[in-house]
């Protein structure tokens, strides 16, 4: 496909997303099935265009003065990739498979795209109903924080110290141009260009040998902040596919015991192969046998550390899932708050006196973070907050103390602050 034909295809996919109110991944998949002549490079390039536009949907509509799929494509790519008007003129020629030529109004909008008069939620590209939450979290800097969340994310890898070192893994992956992550001591980063395909890391020998796992640097830091030590009894309460379980096992040097579980055993399906590949020997996967089954009942009051990678809105991952922010509704936040309260109550039953709960979200919304910790402490007088600066220092990450959350309950990472996805981490100690 020509670059012009890719633009036309992206407009078609955007129209499908709008008309059918469906996730971008579904629309892209259906487009590919209906256009089998398109190669993998074409599909990847079209997906890149679509996701870049979705990252800038509100600001693109503002710049162009309308929100049609074509206007969003033109405005979104102008803002996200800084294409010149001449480049748009070359591609929008009206020739076969190419978009129609620019109108005078479109050309004028593209020549001088300005967000100077845009309200914060438009300039920052997020739903208007979330403005109060972002204002609380980031104050006057909320637009800049949100704009950082509208950038394309890199691919981050965690090196598995049970099998290799960061230096050896970096040498093995040098053809990807990997660089060490800025803060996570075991991370490697791959920066992806605007038209480049995401690297097929899973096909690499280093991945197959269990040397590396794909894991955002923020997630790596969250696992490190939990401070799991060898010989501990650790519960990974919302283990899912096992990303943090693997990181915890490596931190514990395969000693002690990790009990990994999830309320939905289907989410646990990938964890078994991942544990084997990584060489993890100190983890047990305990899946619930029914709706009301508690597979951890025998561990009540015995855990040194309970890691709660809490169900949340995922607002901190908008760089990777840009269409998710536009599909988010107020009731979904209410649902997540209820889920978080339930999982924290469950964690409280498992942790022993002197033990800790590590509460983690991939969110920057204070209601899910500081607010959730404040509500838990108010209802559980036997627990105390470990000061965030102490959490950072104890984990060997003292520089993260500068990123204490707005109400002081935890550490708040973000693309603008730390160059990572948005993560919140708070630690609670049981004192009674």
pLDDT, tens only, 277-311 = 999 999 999 999 888 889 999 999 999 999 999 99
The pair of three-digit structure tokens given for residue 90, joined into one six-digit string? 């070359």
80-102 residue pLDDT tens: 999 999 999 999 999 999 999 99
Q: Return the pLDDT at 223.
A: 97
Residue 351 has phi, psi (to 5 degrees) of -80, 140
Tell me the CB-side half-sphere exposure of residue 131, using CA atoms within 13 A: 12
Check if the beta carbon of residue 424 is closer than 8 Å to that of residue 410.
yes
Q: Which of 34-48, 123-137, 303-317 has the lowest mean pLDDT?
A: 34-48
Q: Give the chain's end-to-end CA distance (angstroms, integer).
A: 66
The answer to whether 262 is a known ligand-binding residue is yes
Residue found under tokens 């102490």: 390
Q: Pinpoint the residues of the chain covered by CATH 3.30.70.1170.
A: 155-214
| Separation in Å, CA 85 to CA 75, 79, 103, 187, 312 | 11, 12, 12, 39, 40
The C-alpha atoms of residue 332 and residue 179 are separated, in whole angstroms, by 37
- Percentage of residues in the chain having pLDDT higher than 70: 100
Q: Compute the mean pLDDT over every residue in the chain, rounded to the nearest whole number.
A: 96
pLDDT at position 33 over 90: yes
Cα 51 off chain centre by:
15
pLDDT at position 196 over 70: no
Q: Is 238 a residue of the active site?
A: no
354 compared with 197, residue with greater pLDDT: 354
Residue 176 has phi, psi (to 5 degrees) of -90, -5
Q: Quick one: CATH architecture of 155-214?
A: 2-Layer Sandwich (3.30)
The answer to whether 229 is a known ligand-binding residue is no
The C-alpha atoms of residue 297 and residue 300 are separated, in whole angstroms, by 6
pLDDT at position 197 over 90: no
**In sequence order, which ranges of 21-140 are alpha helices (DSSP H)?**
24-34, 40-55, 57-64, 69-81, 85-91, 104-111, 120-123, 131-138
Reduced to 3 states (helix: H, G, I; strand: E, B; else coil), residue 174 is: helix
Under CATH, which number does the domain 217-430 receive? 3.40.50.150
Q: Return the pLDDT at 194.
A: 75
The C-alpha atoms of residue 260 and residue 28 are separated, in whole angstroms, by 34
Q: Pinpoint the residues of the chain covered by CATH 3.40.50.150.
A: 217-430
């Amino acid at each position: 496909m020509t670059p012009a034909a890719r633009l036309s295809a992206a407009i078609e996919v955007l129209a499908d997303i709008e008309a059918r109110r469906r996730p971008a991944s579904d629309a892209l998949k259906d487009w590919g099935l209906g256009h089998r002549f398109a190669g993998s490079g074409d599909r990847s390039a079209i997906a890149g265009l679509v996701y870049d536009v979705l990252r800038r949907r509100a600001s693109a509509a503002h710049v162009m003065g309308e929100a049609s799929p074509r206007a969003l494509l033109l405005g979104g790519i102008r803002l996200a990739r800084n294409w010149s008007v001449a480049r748009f003129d070359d591609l929008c020629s009206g020739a076969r498979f190419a978009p129609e030529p620019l109108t005078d109004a479109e050309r004028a909008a593209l020549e001088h795209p300005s967000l100077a008069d845009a309200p914060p939620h438009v300039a920052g590209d997020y739903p208007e109903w979330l403005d109060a939450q972002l204002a609380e979290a980031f104050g006057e800097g909320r637009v800049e924080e949100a704009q950082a969340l509208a950038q394309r994310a890199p691919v981050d890898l965690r090196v598995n110290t049970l099998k290799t070192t960061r230096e050896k893994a970096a040498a093995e992956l040098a053809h990807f141009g990997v660089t060490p992550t800025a803060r996570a001591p075991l991370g490697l980063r791959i920066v992806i260009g605007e038209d480049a395909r995401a690297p097929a890391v899973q096909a690499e020998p280093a991945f197959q040998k269990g040397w590396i796992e794909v894991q955002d640097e923020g997630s790596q830091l969250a696992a490190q902040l939990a401070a799991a030590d060898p010989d501990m009894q650790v519960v990974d309460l919302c283990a899912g596919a096992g990303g943090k379980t693997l990181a915890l096992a490596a931190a514990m040097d395969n000693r002690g015991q990790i009990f990994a579980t999830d309320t939905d055993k289907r989410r646990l399906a990938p964890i078994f192969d991942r544990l084997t590949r990584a060489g993890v020997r100190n983890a047990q996967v305990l899946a619930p046998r029914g709706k009301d089954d508690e597979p951890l009942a025998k561990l009540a009051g015995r855990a040194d550390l309970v890691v709660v990678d809490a169900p949340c809105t995922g607002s901190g991952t908008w760089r990777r899932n840009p269409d998710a922010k536009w599909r988010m509704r107020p009731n979904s936040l209410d649902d997540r708050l209820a889920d978080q309260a339930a999982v924290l109550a469950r964690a409280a039953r498992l942790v022993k006196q002197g033990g800790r709960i590590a509460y983690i979200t991939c969110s920057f919304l204070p209601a899910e973070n500081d607010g959730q910790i404040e509500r838990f402490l108010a209802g559980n007088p036997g627990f105390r907050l470990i000061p965030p600066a102490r959490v950072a220092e104890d984990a060997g990450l003292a520089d993260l103390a500068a990123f204490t959350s707005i109400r002081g309950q935890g550490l708040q990472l973000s693309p603008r602050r730390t160059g990572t996805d948005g993560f919140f981490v708070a630690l609670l100690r049981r004192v009674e």
